[in-house]
Amino acid sequence: MENYNYNNIWKENLFRGKSCLITGGSGTICRQQAAALIKLGASVAIVGRDTPRVDSVVQDLRKIIPSSLRDESKVVGFGNCDVRSISDLQKVVDETVTALGKIDFVICGAAGNFLSDFNHTSTNAFKSVVDIDLIGSFNTVKAAYTQLIQNRGAVLFVSATLHYYGVPFQAHVGATKAGVDALSNALAVEFGPLGIRVNCVAPGPIGGTEGFERIVPDVSNFESKIPLQRVGRTSDIGNATVFLFSEAAQWITGTVLVVDGGFWQMGNFNNSDQYPKILKQKLLEKPKL
């Protein structure tokens, strides 16, 4: 987890008294989002499937609670939660409210990704990504909906830029994240009259994450292909998260904040070395159903 001092930019205790539920919270990016909120005074609930991993992240996050808020801010974790199950999520929401008192913010960060061309992506694999990313996001908001109404809360979906153009080996993720963006747009309009804001953050290539290592097999000279000449840091997503949950964004809803150093504007460089020769070979192999 990146050690970043958010107080250099943001007001101390900006989120004091606020609570956030984060699915996929033990992932590299989402745990940094959690860290940003915690360092600025919020309490956080980390949700994931891998209980030991969730417990480990919770222990790390508890260490960064501001000393002045040790008796006030809390970090709790809930493992063995499958976002594809609305009953699992409803249980977690109820337990979060019991532990933290309420839920003001929701981050839908549970996701699954892997490199696979169409021919080698089975129907079950495609469905699994849709179920975790898209259905899981819907279920998370559904479970927390009453809390969001009561607290005039805010929702942040973790999206991507892979559907802005055709990206080989990522059809399953691109299709799913397009759905996440569409869901966010619709909920922003529906929830607006209730005082609930809904937005997306779309990370670009973030160094040190599992997704980066899977999607960018060759990192040599990769930074030179990014307009701002460096890969992203998890704190870049942390700062974007703080902004979208803060009062500075009180009139922002239904938007996608791309945090990628301008990378998507350059087109697809990630697997250009595999296009079209290697991709064509894979597409002509025996289909995986």
Q: How many CB atoms lie within 10 A of CB 135?
A: 18
- Please report how many Cα atoms fall inside a 13 Å half-sphere around the Cα of residue 222, on the Cβ side: 22
Paired tokens of 136: 């899981």
The single residue listed with the structure tokens 């480990």 is 56
Q: How many residues does the chain have?
A: 289
**Is 159 one of the annotated active-site residues of the chain?**
yes
The tokens for 212 are 């980066």
Cα dihedral sign, 88-151-189-108: negative
d(CA 227, CA 33): 24
One-letter amino acid at 78 equals F
d(CA 127, CA 124): 5
Asked if 63 is an active-site residue, the reply is no
For residues 181 and 58, give the distance between their C-alpha atoms in angstroms, rounded to a whole number.
Answer: 29
Pick the catalytic residue: 159, 184, 225, 272? Answer: 159
Classify the C-alpha dihedral 139-142-147-151 as positive or negative.
Answer: positive
In sequence order, the 6+-apart residues with CB closer than 8 A to the CB of 202 are: 159, 160, 161, 177, 256, 257, 258, 259, 260
Identify the active-site residue in 18, 43, 177, 235.
177
Main-chain phi, psi angles of 115, to 5 degrees: -85, 125
Residue type, 197: R
Structure tokens at 215: 């999607």
> Which residue's structure tokens are 């019991």?
98
* Catalytic sites, residue numbers: 159, 177
